[in-house]
């Protein structure tokens, strides 16, 4: 069933016109927003604090297959990217050493099975390959990426999509991050072609007129972290999708529409709420960090006007940093949440400290901010 949010039609029109009018605007230097940080709030300092917290912790095990959880995989990926962007050889070494037992005595912790939550683990060895040139990592990472398309759908309506297709919004990070990492490791266009095909199918089925995404087709609520996965997934895909790729225009338009709506709903503090468009809901940090990553990258890549989105991204980062304690743990992270057609269900969700669903996008954003500083 396709949800129609008629109350957002007017907002959708305004957003579309705004996106078109801004597309030709002059881009200011993002350095003015992504430098000169207050004491102890720079991405280099905070990112290292959060990365060190990750290195210290035990593996986070997924209960369904007794292997490393997807939340650990994407946090590890973020920490590796942060280490690369800050040229921190010591952190790179410690993150690589964390992998070493997985070749031997902890091999059973490498995820098996056929599921987006399991396959995304491949981003870790692929990122390690890019930083170490150790072919063992590439072989392992590509095995996960290729297995995702081992038996593509051939059902007459979703032809060519991965058989892991569920039309759940978090898929759009799990699939694009993995296939994008495989593309960076090989420069083989089939990986971005796969990710783009999947992304466009999800956009056509799930994106609403206001640019946001319901938690599911049965739950018409704009849950922050669910939308965060999609925002980050579009961002990851656009980073690798060639300028002349036939699917790029669709993805960039959908991305800009979403970013404009997120800008509209950013709270005074700089964060976003557990349900994005509900002002009575509490401010949630994992979704906020994912949106901040999308803003920072969009400004840095020239997809978004720096004079509008740069200050919003800076405000969001500083608000997030205020939620990080001295141990590098982020607070006010919504725990794992299933879709439900019940407003109170989302309002009552417990808030965790240090949950990897929030630690991960803090590292993605710290890496993106570090990338912005040396790109300009």
Where helices occur in the chain by DSSP H, the ranges are 9-22, 43-56, 70-85, 89-99, 116-119, 123-132, 135-147, 171-186, 189-206, 224-240, 248-265, 285-301, 306-321, 343-347, 356-375
Q: Is the pLDDT of residue 58 over 70?
A: yes
pLDDT category at 373 given cuts 50, 70, 90 is confident
Domain limits for position 39? 7-375
Mean pLDDT for 352-366 is 98
Whether 33 contacts 312, CB under 8 Å: no
Q: Which two tokens stand for residue 297?
A: 């990258």
The answer as to whether 2 is a domain residue is: no
pLDDT over 90, % of the chain: 90
> What pLDDT was estimated at residue 29?
52
CB proximity list for 12: less than 8 A, separation 6 or greater: 209, 210, 211, 257
pLDDT at position 17 over 60 = no
CA dihedral for 99, 100, 106, 108, sign (positive or negative): positive
Q: Which two tokens stand for residue 268?
A: 């005074």
Residue 360 counted as domain residue: yes
Give the whole-angstrom CA distance, residue 103 versus residue 107.
Answer: 6
Share of the chain above pLDDT 70, in %: 91
Measured N-to-C along each axis, helices 135-147 and 171-186 cross at an angle, to the nearest 10 degrees, of 140
**Mean pLDDT across the stretch 297-317?**
98
What pLDDT, on a 0 to 100 scale, did the predictor assign at position 32? 85
Is 349 a residue whose pLDDT tops 70?
yes
Q: What is the pLDDT of residues 141-198, one digit of tens each?
A: 999 999 999 999 999 999 999 999 999 999 999 999 999 999 999 999 999 999 999 9
pLDDT at res. 376? 61
Residue 111 lies in a domain: yes
> Of 328, 309, 352, 299, whose CA–CA distance to 79 is shortest?
328
Q: What is the model's pLDDT at position 88?
A: 98
Tell me the pLDDT tens digit for each residue of 268-299.
999 999 999 999 999 999 999 999 999 999 99
Amino acid 6: pLDDT? 41
pTM of the predicted model as reported, rounded to 2 decimal places: 0.92
HSE-CB at 34 with a 13 A cutoff on CA atoms is: 31
Residue 350 has pLDDT above 60, yes or no: yes
Whether 31 contacts 44, CB under 8 Å: no
As a whole number, the mean pLDDT across the chain is: 93
Q: Evaluate if residue 2 carries a pLDDT over 70.
A: no
**pLDDT tens track for 70-114:** 999 999 999 999 999 999 999 999 999 999 999 999 999 999 999
Domain count, the chain: 1
In a domain, 356, yes or no: yes
Mean pLDDT within 109-135: 97
Two structure tokens written together for 92? 């790179």
- Residue 1 in any domain: the answer is no
Average of per-residue pLDDT across 321-350? 97
- CATH number at 46 reads 1.50.10.10
For the cut 70, the answer to whether the pLDDT of residue 213 exceeds it is yes
Query: Of the ranges 4-18, 144-158, 233-247, which one carries the lowest mean pLDDT score?
Result: 4-18
């Amino acid at each position: 069933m396709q949800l129609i949010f008629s109350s957002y039609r007017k907002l959708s029109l305004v957003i579309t016109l705004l996106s078109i009018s801004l597309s030709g605007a002059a881009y200011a230097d993002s350095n003015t927003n992504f430098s000169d940080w207050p004491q102890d709030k720079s991405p280099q300092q905070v990112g290292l604090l959060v990365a060190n917290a990750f290195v210290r912790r035990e593996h986070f095990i997924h209960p369904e297959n007794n292997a490393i959880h997807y939340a650990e995989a994407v946090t590890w990926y973020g920490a590796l990217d942060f280490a690369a962007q800050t040229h921190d050889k010591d952190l790179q070494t410690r993150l690589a050493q964390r992998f070493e037992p997985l070749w031997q005595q902890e091999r059973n912790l490498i995820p098996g099975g056929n599921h987006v939550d399991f396959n995304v683990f491949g981003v870790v060895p692929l990122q390690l390959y890019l930083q170490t040139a150790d072919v063992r990592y590439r072989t392992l990472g590509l095995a996960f990426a290729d297995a995702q398309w081992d038996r593509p759908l051939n059902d007459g309506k979703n032809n060519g999509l991965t058989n892991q297709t569920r039309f759940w919004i978090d898929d759009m990070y799990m699939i694009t991050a993995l296939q994008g990492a495989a593309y960076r490791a090989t420069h083989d266009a089939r990986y971005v072609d796969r990710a783009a095909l999947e992304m466009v199918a999800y956009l056509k089925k799930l994106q609403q007129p206001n640019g946001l995404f319901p938690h599911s087709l049965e739950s018409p609520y704009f849950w922050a972290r669910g939308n965060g996965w999609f925002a980050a997934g579009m961002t990851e895909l656009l980073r690798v999708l060639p300028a002349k790729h036939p699917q790029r225009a669709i993805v960039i338009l959908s991305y800009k529409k979403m970013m404009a709506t997120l800008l509209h709903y950013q709270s005074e503090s700089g964060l976003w709420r557990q349900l994005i468009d509900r002002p009575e809901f509490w401010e949630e940090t994992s979704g906020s960090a994912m949106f901040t990553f999308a803003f920072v990258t969009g400004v840095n890549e020239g997809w978004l006007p720096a004079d509008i989105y740069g200050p919003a991204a800076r405000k969001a980062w500083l608000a997030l940093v205020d939620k990080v304690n001295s141990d590098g743990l982020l607070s006010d992270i919504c725990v794992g949440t299933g879709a439900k057609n019940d407003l109170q269900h989302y309002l009552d969700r417990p808030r965790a400290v240090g949950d990897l669903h929030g630690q991960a996008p803090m590292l993605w954003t710290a890496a993106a901010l570090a990338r912005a500083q040396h790109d300009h």
